[in-house]
Amino acid sequence: MARGRHFYIESFDTVQLSSYRVEQSPFASRYATDQTIFGVYCNRLYPLKTNRDEDPIPQYWKLREGVLLYDVPEKPLEISGPDAVRLLEKVLTCRVETLADGRARYGVACNDDGTVVMDGVLMRLAPDRYWYVMANGEFASWLAASAIGLDVEVSDPKSRVLQIQGPKSLQVLDAAIGGGLSAEFKYFRAGFFDVCGQQLWVSRTGWTGEVGIEIYCNSGPVPTDHEALWDDLLACGEPFGLEFSSSSSMGIRRIESGILDNGSDIEPDLTPFGAGLGQFVRLDKDDFIGKTALEVASRRQLLFGLVCATTAPDAGMEIHDGNGPVGHITIGTWSPTLDTGVGYARFDRPLPDDDWYAKTVLLVDHDGQSHEAIVDTLPFVDKEKQLPRVAWIPR
């Protein structure tokens, strides 16, 4: 793990942007300066970098070996009422009725033609109360239109989400709730906790491929005191080295972990099968939007990993075989753990043989130079996805 190297880091074009009609984070007062670079996601501002020259590599290793606090823009929607399950079964490809209280499940929503319209994490807070934590894009109106005629309410709880990620994240949570975190708080479990004196919903999920939790503001009986929560979490986490990070370190880690972003990696013309998400489609359940199309859709995958030893893949780079272009890169980075370039390869058509995971192709960079690359399975790091599932042993 060559920590002394200068790694290629994804850069961002920046423009000045008015916050009019774009939600600023209620935590921004605790970290924002005139050097902070914000992105927009789910119509929310979030910190991409602390400054233009930020080096995310030290924070990357802090994430891998310690613990970090992230202010993230993902947006929960609340679906509540007697027909909440009927609505969610109608719009999601996963099975909803079997989801128990205090559990979370990955859920994909499709258009009538079977292409992906949204993905996110569904959580059951109470028998008739669900939160769907959506990715970037418009989905609330889709849910509301699909709910016509049902006894259900789709609402925006105005919840901002904090992620605490890294091997020491559960120690921070245990300290923040005053001790007693149960060994049953396993991966994709969730529940209400007294977090630093505020009743909040917490899930054992995240966007890094590491052990982690997400804390959902405005989920309890009273509005969240955001600044107090921020200060108290950092105080509880101080013995474990908790500190704030922009999303740049998270961005590298999520690519290594094979986590896809809807609308960019999961391009609008992809079905769940094409995106490699076929395991989340339950064709044996009752009718849902897109089921008819998915029943006859190709099961062949079009989105894979790509490993390149000589350059970091970058969005838009072409992928060639011996006969010309066959696809493009949706996103990429240099992996500090693997010391190689990694990225997501979107192919125009299914690969021609069964040894797709070892196929050699050419990656053509923006200057026209060719680099040999290997098609790989996702994720790149922690192939068996065991890191986020590490057991918590009560202290």
Q: Tell me: the pLDDT tens digits for 134-161?
A: 999 999 999 999 999 999 999 999 999 9
Mean pLDDT of 55-63: 97
Q: What is the pLDDT of residue 139?
A: 95
Mean pLDDT of 159-181: 98
Count other C-beta atoms under 10 Å from residue 144's C-beta.
15
Categorize the per-residue pLDDT at 93 as very low, low, confident or very high, splitting at 50, 70 and 90.
very high
> Rounded to two decimals, what is the model's pTM?
0.94
What is the residue type of 16? Q
Percent of the chain's residues with pLDDT above 90: 90
Q: Is the pLDDT of residue 354 over 70?
A: no
Categorize the per-residue pLDDT at 6 as very low, low, confident or very high, splitting at 50, 70 and 90.
very low
Q: How do residues 114-125 score in pLDDT, each as one tens digit?
A: 999 999 999 999
Mention every residue, 6+ apart, whose C-beta is less than 8 A from residue 126: 101
What is the residue type of 39? G
Q: What is the pLDDT of residue 305?
A: 96
Strands 68-72, 243-244: pairing is: parallel
Q: What is the pLDDT of residue 355?
A: 60
Length, in residues, of the chain: 395
Q: Going from the N-terminus, what domains does the chain have, and what CATH number goes with each? A: 16-298 (3.30.1360.120), 300-381 (2.40.30.110)
Going edge to edge, which strands form the sheet with 243-244? 190-195, 198-203, 212-216, 161-165, 68-72, 243-244
Buried b (16+ CB within 10 A) or exposed e, 251-289: bbbbbbbbbbbbbebbbeebbbbbbbbbebbbeebeebb
Q: Where are the beta strands (DSSP E) in the chain?
A: 37-41, 44-49, 68-72, 75-80, 104-110, 116-126, 129-134, 153-155, 161-165, 190-195, 198-203, 212-216, 243-244, 303-308, 318-321, 324-335, 340-347, 360-364, 370-376
Mean pLDDT of 31-35: 96
Tell me if 129 sits within 8 A of 80, measured CB to CB: yes
What is the residue type of 180? G
Residue in this structure with the two tokens 């850069």, named with its chain if needed? 11
List the structure tokens of 291: 């089921």
Q: What is the pLDDT of residue 340?
A: 98
Rounded mean pLDDT of the chain?
A: 94
List the structure tokens of 364: 């053509």
Tell me if 289 sits within 8 A of 295, measured CB to CB: no
Mention every residue, 6+ apart, whose C-beta is less than 8 A from residue 88: 79, 96, 107, 122, 130, 132
Angle ∠(256,331,296) on CA atoms, nearest 5: 95
3-state secondary structure of 18: coil
If one compares 307 and 14, the residue with the highest pLDDT of the two is 307
Mean pLDDT of 255-269: 97
Categorize the per-residue pLDDT at 359 as very low, low, confident or very high, splitting at 50, 70 and 90.
confident
Q: Is the pLDDT of residue 1 over 50?
A: no
If one compares 318 and 21, the residue with the highest pLDDT of the two is 318
Q: What is the pLDDT of residue 12?
A: 63
Mean pLDDT of 102-128: 98
Q: What is the pLDDT of residue 319?
A: 96
Mean pLDDT of 267-272: 97
Q: Rounded CA gap, 264 and 9, in Å?
A: 18
Count other C-beta atoms under 10 Å from residue 52's C-beta.
11
Mean pLDDT of 153-174: 98
What value does the CA radius of gyration of the chain take, rounded to a whole number of Å?
21
